[in-house]
Structure 1
C-alpha cells in the first residue's frame, strides 16, 4: 500500500494510491491516520470514496506534524570517510522541528544567512505502533513504512557548535515523500534499495540502503530505549557519500537548481532551490 498526504480544496487529506488515482481518506493527514488505532492499515486499504488523479496530486509533506523527527548522522561508511570521522560505536542522533518539512515537489528555501547549503539523500521510515524498549528482532513490526527524505543541511551553521541542530532545521528545507510505502511492498526484512541524489541532472550520490551501518531495526530499537516512539514519528536514517561539503572543491546549492532525490521502489522528490524571501524591516 502507498499512502500520502495531499493538498485538497484548501486543506490536506490522507490518501491511498489506487492505480492512477488517490482515494481520499477520512483523516487530515497521514499522521492522523497512523494515530487513529492499530488497525489503521486495514481501514486505509478498505476505504473508498472521493478520488484525485495521481498526476494532478499536490503532495504535502508526508507527516506534517510528527511528535518527533529523529535523524542519524554518520551512518554510511562512505559519508564518514568523506567527512573525516571515525566509525561510531552508537547511532549519532539529532532532531529537527516540523517547520523544516516540505512536500515532494515544494521549493527548498536557501536561507539568506548562508551560501553553504548541501544535499543529503536519505531513506526515511515512519513509526506505525507505539514503541518503548523494543528488542531489535521485533522492531520492524513497529515500522508503518518507508519514504524518501533529503536532509538539506546548512553546513556553516551545523559547524558553529558541536551540536548539529542549528544546521539541520532551517525553515522549509527538508522534503519528505511523496508516499509512504508499507513494508509488505518491499519484501521481507529491511529494504535493499538504490538511493540517489541529482543536482541539475548530475548524479551526486548513489548507494544502497543495505549499506547503512545501523539498520532500521537497530535504529528503532535504540531510540526506543531513550524515549517512547509514537505513531507518525519520522526517522531519517543518514546519508551516503557524495555530499557537496565532502568534495574538493566544495559544491553547494544555488538558486534555480533542481534537487532530485529518489529511492528505488518508493519514489522521487523533485525540488527547485529558491532564495529566502526576507520581509522588509519594520
Structure 2
C-alpha cells in the first residue's frame, strides 16, 4: 500500500496510489479523514481503500506535498551507518539527534533550495519512519508495532550554518531543504526489521552514497525506544534514521550542490525521491 499527500484544485488532500493513479481519499465525497496523519491515527482502516466514491487523479493533475505535511515532530538522527564491518566496541554510547521544522519540508519533484546565504548545500539520503501508534517508554521488542510505514528523506544540510555552533538547528532547517517523498509504503509491505534494503543517493546520475539499512548503528527499534523515553510519540511523527558516508562534506575535495543539479535518493521497495536544486529567489 502506497499513501501520498497532495494538492488538487487548491485543496489539500491525500490518497492511495495504484497502477499509476492517485485515489483521492481525502475528497469530500469520502469525507472520513482530512489528511494522511488522521488516517494513520485511526489505525489505517483498510475498508477506506476500497471506497468507490474516491475520485481518481493522474499524477500530472496534482502537486505533491511532503508525505506527512503536518507532523507533530520530526526527529533526525545524525550519521548512523557503519563505514566498515560493524564493531560494537566502536559504537558511540548514544545517537546524535536533532529536530527539523515541518515548514522546511518539500515534496518529491519540488525544488531543493540553495540559500542566498551559503554555497555549502549538501545532500543526505535517508530512510524515514512514520509512526502509526503513539506511546511513551516504548520497549525495543514492541517498537516495530508502532510503525505505520516508511518513506525517503533527503536531509539537505547547509553545512557552514550547521557548524556555527555545536547545535545543528540552523543548518538543518533552511526553507526548502528537507525533501520527503514520494509516498509512504505501509510497514507490512516492507519488512525492514527482518532484512535490510539498499539505499542509494545520486547527483546528476552519479552515485554518491550506497548502503543497506541493516548497517544502521542504532536500528529502528532502538531509535523509537530512545526517543519515546524523553518525548511521547504520536501518529504521524517522523523519525529520519541517519545517513551513511559519501555526502558532499565527506568527499575529497568536498562537493556541494549547485542550481540545476538533480538529487535522487532510491530505497528498494519504496522508490525514488527526486529533486532539482534551485537558487533562492
Give the structure-1-normalised TM-score: 0.91
CA distance in 2, matches of 1:68, 1:46: 30
Q: Which residue of 2 aligns with 1:267?
A: 271
Q: Which residue of 2 aligns with 1:20?
A: 20
Contact 2:8–2:61, Cα closer than 8 Å, also in 1: no
Q: Which residue of 2 aligns with 1:198?
A: 202
Say which of 200, 211, 230 aligns to 1:207: 211
CA distance in 2, matches of 1:43, 1:59: 24
Contact 1:132–1:228, Cα closer than 8 Å, also in 2: yes
Deviations 1:117-163 (A, max 9, x none): 10000000110011211110110000000000000000001111001
Contact 2:25–2:49, Cα closer than 8 Å, also in 1: no
Say which of 34, 40, 46 aligns to 2:40: 34
Q: Which runs of 5+ in 1 are unaligned?
A: 80-85, 278-282
Q: Which runs of 5+ in 2 are unaligned?
A: 27-32, 85-89
Q: Which residue of 2 aligns with 1:71?
A: 76
Q: Give, in angstroms, the shift of residue 23 of structure 1.
A: 1.1
Q: Which residue of 2 aligns with 1:155?
A: 159
- Structure-2 change in CA distance of 1:191 and 1:126 (3 Å): farther
The SS at the match of 1:170 is coil
Deviations 1:217-259 (A, max 9, x none): 1111111111100000011000011011011111100011111
Matching of residues 98-109 of structure 1 within 5 Å: 98-109=102-113
Matching of residues 96-135 of structure 1 within 5 Å: 96-135=100-139
The SS at the match of 2:225 is helix
**CA RMSD after TM alignment:** 1.6
Contact 2:128–2:153, Cα closer than 8 Å, also in 1: yes
Contact 1:190–1:216, Cα closer than 8 Å, also in 2: no
Q: Which residue of 2 aligns with 1:217?
A: 221
Q: Give, in angstroms, the shift of residue 191 of structure 1.
A: 5.0
Contact 1:126–1:146, Cα closer than 8 Å, also in 2: yes
Say which of 49, 64, 74 aligns to 1:45: 49
